[in-house]
């Protein structure tokens, strides 16, 4: 039931799209029908897989970097309120800046290689991770904190044994959001300047009016996002199962 409803809706929309393209004889370079997109996605899988692997690597590297930044940042913001007061405005401001505005500058700073795309993905990912983790720390039950204080735990001992496990479900919720939006950062970076990646492939195909390839790249990008989201869900259930047990 949980799967069948979205699958049915998806199939219905695809059928509508397919029939619309055929009924109005829409040229393929304007809007290819889903059957054409699927055909291209499968027949050109070598090219798509090559560029997809580059984009996936950028996303994963961005994810790793964002995790490495967000955990100490959220911990410091939680343990030392003055750090939160000092950083919070910049954290919010970093999300108020459109990533499109940042991309050209990052390409100038870090070049046309994957570095600028990894940074782009990091910029997008670290915000939901940091904010969710911080919220997780703050949501900890006051009576548990009281219990730990009475047991004589230090601030760091409490962080390790209470706050961190408590915030883990929040962290994974942030991770699920993060992986869903991570593709945006990587692809925008590739649009601005790259020699590889699905974003690069989309720009190149678009210039040659190979719209079916653009859609095939979008399909692969969606698949990457979906798989990462699914993996984040599995990790959440594996490492923070108490959330679902109530």
Partner 1 sequence: MTLVSVEGLKKDFDGLSVLSDFSLSVDRGSFVSLIGPSGCGKSTFFDLLTGAIAPDEGRILWEGRTISDLSKKAAWMAQSDLLLPWMSALDNALLPRLSPKKSDRERAMALFCELGLEGFEDYLPYRLSGGMRQRNALARTIMFDRELILLDEPLSALDSLTRQDLQGLLVSLQRDFGKTIVMITHDVEEALVTSDFVVVLSDQPMSVRSSYELIGTKPRLRDDSYVVGLRREILDMLGGHGP
Question: What is the C-alpha to C-alpha distance for residues 169 and 93, in angstroms, rounded to an integer?
Answer: 26
Length, in residues, of the chain = 246
Q: Check binding of 7 to partner 1 (CB under 8 A).
A: no
Q: What is the DSSP letter of 113?
A: S
Q: Check binding of 155 to partner 1 (CB under 8 A).
A: no
φ, ψ at 237 (rounded to 5°): -70, -30
| Residue from 29, 35, 88, 144 binding partner 1 (CB under 8 A) | 144
Greatest pairwise CA separation for the chain in angstroms = 74
| Residue from 146, 155, 160, 223 binding partner 1 (CB under 8 A) | 146
Segment 160 to 189, residues that bind partner 1, using CB under 8 A: 161-162, 165, 168
| Residue from 2, 46, 238, 245 binding partner 1 (CB under 8 A) | 245
Give the residue with the Cβ less far from partner 1, 72 or 157.
157
Question: What is the C-alpha to C-alpha distance for residues 118 and 120, in angstroms, rounded to an integer?
Answer: 5
**Phi-psi domain of 32 (left: phi exceeds 0; alpha: psi -120 through 50; beta: other):** beta
Give me the least distance between CB of 141 and partner 1, in Å please. Answer: 8
Binding positions for partner 1, rule: CB under 8 A? 141, 143-144, 146-147, 149-153, 157, 161-162, 165, 168, 240, 242, 245-246
């Amino acid at each position: 039931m949980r799967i069948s409803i979205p699958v049915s809706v998806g199939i219905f929309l695809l059928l509508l799209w397919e029939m619309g393209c055929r009924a109005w004889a829409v040229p393929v370079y304007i809007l290819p029908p889903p059957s054409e997109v699927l055909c291209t996605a499968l027949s050109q899988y070598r090219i798509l897989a090559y560029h997809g692997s580059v984009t996936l690597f950028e996303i994963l590297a961005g994810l790793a970097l964002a995790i490495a930044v967000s955990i100490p940042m959220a911990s410091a913001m939680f343990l030392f309120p003055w750090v939160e007061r000092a950083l919070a405005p910049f954290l919010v401001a970093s999300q108020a800046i459109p990533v499109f505005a940042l991309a050209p500058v990052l390409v100038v700073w870090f070049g046309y290689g994957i570095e600028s795309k990894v940074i782009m993905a990091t910029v997008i990912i670290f915000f939901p991770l940091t904010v969710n983790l911080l919220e997780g720390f703050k949501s900890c039950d006051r009576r548990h904190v009281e219990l730990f204080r009475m047991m004589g735990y230090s601030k760091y001992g409490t962080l390790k044994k209470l706050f961190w496990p408590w915030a883990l479900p929040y962290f994974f919720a942030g991770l699920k959001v993060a992986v869903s939006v991570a593709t945006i950062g990587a692809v925008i970076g590739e649009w601005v300047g790259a020699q590889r990646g699905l974003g690069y492939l989309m720009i190149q195909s678009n210039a040659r009016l190979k719209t079916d390839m653009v859609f095939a790249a979008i399909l692969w990008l969606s698949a990457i996002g979906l798989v990462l989201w699914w993996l984040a869900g599995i990790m959440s259930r594996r490492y923070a199962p108490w959330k679902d047990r109530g």
